[in-house]
Amino acid sequence: MSPCVVVWFRRNLRVSDNPVLAEALRMGLPVVAWVSESKSDLRAGPHRKRFRQESLHSLQKSLAALNMPLIREQPEGLVPRLGSSGFRVREVIGPKEPGTEESQEEASLKLALKLVDDGGLFTKGTLSFRQSQLPPLFTTFRRLVEPIRSSKPIRVAAQAPVSLISDLFPVETPSPNQRSIMVFSGGEESGQAHLRQYLASGAIRTYKATRNGMVEANHSSKLSPWLSLGCLSPQQILRGIEDYESCHGENDSTYWLKFELLWREFFRWVAFQEGRTLFLPQGIQGLAVKWRRESSLLEAWQEGRTGFPLVDANMRELKETGWMSNRGRQIVASFFTKNLGLDWRLGAMWFEEQLLDYDVASNWGNWQYAAGVGNDAREFRLFNLDKQAKDYDPTGTYSHKWLPELSPLRGFRIYSSSVPERTKLGYPEPVVDFRLSAEENRRRYEAATRKSKPRQVAPRRGR
Ligand SMILES: Cc1cc2nc3c(=O)[nH]c(=O)nc-3n(C[C@H](O)[C@H](O)[C@H](O)COP(=O)(O)OP(=O)(O)OC[C@H]3O[C@@H](n4cnc5c(N)ncnc54)[C@H](O)[C@@H]3O)c2cc1C
């Protein structure tokens, strides 16, 4: 049997700027690429599944150009599969990933495994502090790591042909959803094309002012789906921003896109640091809030039938397309935890299933933050839906797109009309009273904060 090295493709589905691949090729043995379905992959809904399948299809093509076969096997099938082609696995090299299930997957692999830092702007070695000394607050973290500069791209060369046939990763061609904010097609090539198009459009110049928009594709970068599967690396995006700045000059907005990438980075290191605490109801703050678990409320929220137009429009967009803006996510997560009072983890699980860009660290970190149990001041931060509608959908355009039954209520009347006017049109009655539900949940939250000592008290973040 000939020895070979296996590259484990997890959430690093690209060949360019891939340190794991580079490390494997350095060993000078035949390299075989391998993917399997993680527990989270198996929980993915149709949009995320489709995006991943497209990404694998694209990866297989790029690897073929490097003479590297890609095989799909569950971990226990890897050794027999390679053995049947005359290969013995010397070592598996894969990216280190945040998340407890991900760590279990690493620990349960019964082969020599080398984990390499990938997927972040920094590695353990390039962070300006020891990982165990990660500051609990984003602002402190940001100050320690700024200004950020890109590192040199990692290049890989083709290997000699390997006598193993690649699996096929067919893609269906779904009819594009006409209502989706844009077409998201998975893969390194389309991720690169999207990054180039976003930068060439010049939309980055106004990013800071538009990033909370819910209607236009270029209101924000829409890079997250490619980042979440590693079709693009954050370093590649940083290089793109730097190139843009050197041609067209820096401004607040070009800086702000880097600032947001640092949020992603922060949540990533928090996830490594916190381990299973990221998934506990009491969160990083250790607050024993009495969360509810009521299936009728959960379903109404999931289906976009809560009787609150701004929440419902966002939830319907998510279910139909796999996308929701950052503003939308904050609004529906606030409503979920502060009005419905539901266990925030149920919301995070629904996002995990539905979101095209699901990312363990960003999702669970942001949900903890929304629930008031994460890396932040203890504070019952409620989003006022009327104000959010006035600020972010003043003409009602966004909600009209997703709530066709309310089309007779023109413009902003989709929000300002009375409940009977809406129910007459077949729209659901509100599942809770907005004010009373918020007061009740505030009392529950405050009762929990009185009972437990603060782990970290910080000033308001002001985003
Ligand atoms: C409840 C909730 C759940 C979320 N779940 C996810 C998730 O599963 N996956 C995910 O990628 N993002 C998640 N986010 C963060 C954020 O909403 C998305 O990253 C952002 O909307 C993606 O759109 P964009 O690429 O156009 O972002 P842009 O505004 O263009 O930002 C550029 C990049 O910065 C990063 N970024 C921006 N905002 C955040 C943030 N708040 N936290 C972490 N990174 C950020 C993302 O990588 C993003 O692609 C969640 C936010 C909330 C409030």
Residue type, 203: A
301 and 446, same domain (yes or no): yes
What is the count of structural domains for the chain? Answer: 3
Distance (Å) from CA 140 to ligand 1 centroid: 20
- Residue 451 — pLDDT band, cuts 50, 70, 90? confident
Q: What is the largest CA-CA distance in the chain?
A: 75
Q: Is 194's C-beta closer than 6 angstroms to any atom of ligand 1?
A: no
- Dist. CA 285–CA 278, nearest whole Å: 10
Residue type, 117: D
Work out the angle at residue 102's Cα, subtended by the Cα atoms of residues 96 and 105, and round it to the nearest 5 degrees: 100
306 and 442, same domain (yes or no): yes
Query: In this model, does residue 331 exceed pLDDT 60?
Result: yes
- Percent above pLDDT 90 for the chain: 95
- Pocket test of ligand 1: the residue of 97, 138, 260, 373 to mutate, having most ligand atoms within 8 Å of its CB, is 260
What's the pLDDT at 195? 98
Tell me, what CATH number does 222's domain have?
A: 1.25.40.80
What's the pLDDT at 454? 65
What's the pLDDT at 379? 87
Query: In this model, does residue 376 exceed pLDDT 50?
Result: yes
Query: In this model, does residue 459 exceed pLDDT 70?
Result: no
Query: In this model, does residue 458 exceed pLDDT 50?
Result: no
442 and 369, same domain (yes or no): yes
Distance (Å) from CA 431 to ligand 1 centroid: 28
Q: Is 233's C-beta closer than 6 angstroms to any atom of ligand 1?
A: no
316 and 267, same domain (yes or no): no
- Dist. CA 279–CA 348, nearest whole Å: 9
- Residue 12 — pLDDT band, cuts 50, 70, 90? very high
Single residue among 275, 303, 333 that ends a domain in this structure = 275
- Does 361 map to a domain? yes
- Dist. CA 149–CA 238, nearest whole Å: 8
Q: Is 351's C-beta closer than 6 angstroms to any atom of ligand 1?
A: yes
Query: In this model, does residue 457 exceed pLDDT 50?
Result: no
Structure-token pair, residue 108: 């349960």
| Lowest model confidence (mean pLDDT) among 80-89, 374-383, 427-436 | 374-383
For residue 244, give the H/E element and its range. Answer: helix 234-248
Residue-averaged pLDDT of the chain: 95
Q: Is 330's C-beta closer than 6 angstroms to any atom of ligand 1?
A: yes
303 and 440, same domain (yes or no): yes
270 and 337, same domain (yes or no): no
CA distances to 6, 325, 331, 393 from 222, rounded to whole Å, are: 32, 9, 18, 19
322 and 438, same domain (yes or no): yes
Q: 175 in the Ramachandran plot: left (φ > 0), alpha (ψ -120 to 50) or beta?
A: beta
**Residue owning the nearest CA to atom 17 of ligand 1:** 326
Distance (Å) from CA 59 to ligand 1 centroid: 24
What is the residue range of 264's domain? 188-275
109 and 69, same domain (yes or no): yes
| 3-state secondary structure at position 32 | strand
pLDDT digits (tens, 9 = 90+) for 14-68: 999 999 999 999 999 999 999 999 999 999 999 999 999 999 999 999 999 999 9
pTM (predicted TM-score): 0.97
pLDDT digits (tens, 9 = 90+) for 153-192: 999 999 999 999 999 999 988 777 889 999 999 999 999 9
Tell me, what CATH number does 24's domain have?
A: 3.40.50.620
Distance (Å) from CA 292 to ligand 1 centroid: 26
Q: What are phi and psi of 227, to 5 degrees?
A: -65, -40
